[in-house]
Structures are given as structure tokens and as C-alpha cells.
Amino acid sequence: MDNNTLKIRNFLELSGNLIYLKKLDKEYIEEYWQGLDHGSIEATVFTGTQQVFGRAGVENFLEYISADNSRVDFLIFSKETNKIIGEVVINDIYRNNRSASMRIAINKKEDFSKGYGSEALILALNYGFGMFNLHRIELEVFNYNERGIHVYEKMGFKKEGIKREGWFFNHKYYDVMTMSILEDEFRAKHISSEDSLREFL
């Protein structure tokens, strides 16, 4: 990735080569809800979504997270279409431990394997480590999601443990893998010391 990949235009928008991230806001409620309502079944399976979202529920959710300072929710926009294609979230932020969790979802199967998710992960991780001063970020992935596990390992995430049969879907239990990345691991892989400040100038 070139220098523009990690460039922070301002604290509300992060810009990459293929996508950009914007903070989830009521301004995007209709498009956000449509993305949830018309997403591919593959996205539902990979993210473990077990509930159906109505528009009123999405409105209530946005109201709830607007007052929650333990998370930041980003929408993923395609630079080609300027349409929402997914979301990436840093949540469960514990300031004392300098730790957090994260999750990512690409709404439609046709947007898989295009590099959108990888770039969104790097932008969000850069924000978490660079702006929130986090030390550790973890995520969970289902054991059958081999594509996701490969991407996370490529990003620098390490496998930590397994929650045996931790998720139930369609009459069957599946293992849930915990993976994490530390700030030094992220910086060594994705940030050069010469560029860390230059992106703001």
C-alpha cells in the first residue's frame, strides 16, 4: 500500500486506495439499513448474525451507540461507487487495559475478495493504535471461515484460543477462534516511522 492508504483526512474519514471509512451517523441510516436488509447470506453466515434488523431497530441502535464512548463504528465506502459496502467496528474499548475488540462485515458476496476488507482493517487498526493509543485489539472468527482466518493472519493477527462450540447456527454448533494483534506488531508490519507523522501534514 502507498502512503495514501493510511492517510487520515480528518478524524471522521479515513482514506485508502480502494475504500474510505466514515463514522456511522444518522445521515447514512437509510443506506446502512438497506445494506443490512439486502446483504448476502454469506455475509450473515461469516459474521454470525442471528437477528433480523428493521428500520426502527437500526434507528434505536444508532441512538444507542451515539452515547457509547467505548466504541467507534465506521462505514466502508467504495471509492469507485461512493456506496456503502460494509462496516468495521472497534468496540469494547477498555482504556485502563488499552485493549479493544473489532469486527468487520462486507455486505454482499460480489464485494468479497477485492481487497476492501483488508484495507478497511488496516485503516481501522491504524486508527485504534494511533488515535486511541490501544495496545491490543482482538477479534473472533468462526472455524469454517478459512478465507477470513487467512486475511487476519496476513494482517498480522495471531491465533490465541478456541471457544469450543461457541456459536449455534442452523442446528449445529461451531468453534469460535480468538485472534489478536499488538500495537508493535501492527506498526512493524504496516507503519514506517518516517510516515507516522507525515500523514497529518
What is the Cα–Cα distance from 137 to 100, expressed in whole angstroms?
5
pTM: 0.82
**Whole-angstrom Cα distance, residue 96 to residue 191?**
25
| pLDDT of 53 | 64
* Amino acid 36: pLDDT: 59
| 72-78 sheet: strands from edge to edge | 7-10, 13-15, 19-23, 72-78, 84-94, 99-106, 136-142, 172-182, 158-169
Q: Where are the domains of the chain?
A: 3-139
Q: Is 152 known to be catalytic?
A: yes
pLDDT at 101: 97
pLDDT recorded at residue 7 = 45
The CATH number of the structural domain formed by 3-139 is: 3.40.630.30
Q: What is the pLDDT along the chain (201 residues), one digit of tens a residue?
A: 444 444 444 446 899 999 999 988 777 776 766 655 555 555 666 565 556 666 677 777 777 777 788 999 999 999 999 999 999 999 999 999 999 999 999 988 888 889 999 999 999 999 999 999 999 999 999 998 998 999 999 999 999 999 999 988 888 999 999 999 999 999 999 986 555 544 544
Active-site pick, 20, 127, 152, 174: 152
Q: 145: burial class by Cβ within 10 Å (0-12, 13-18, 19+)?
A: middle
Which 3 state secondary structure label does DSSP give 185? helix
Cell of 87: 462496516
Beta bridge partners of 187: none
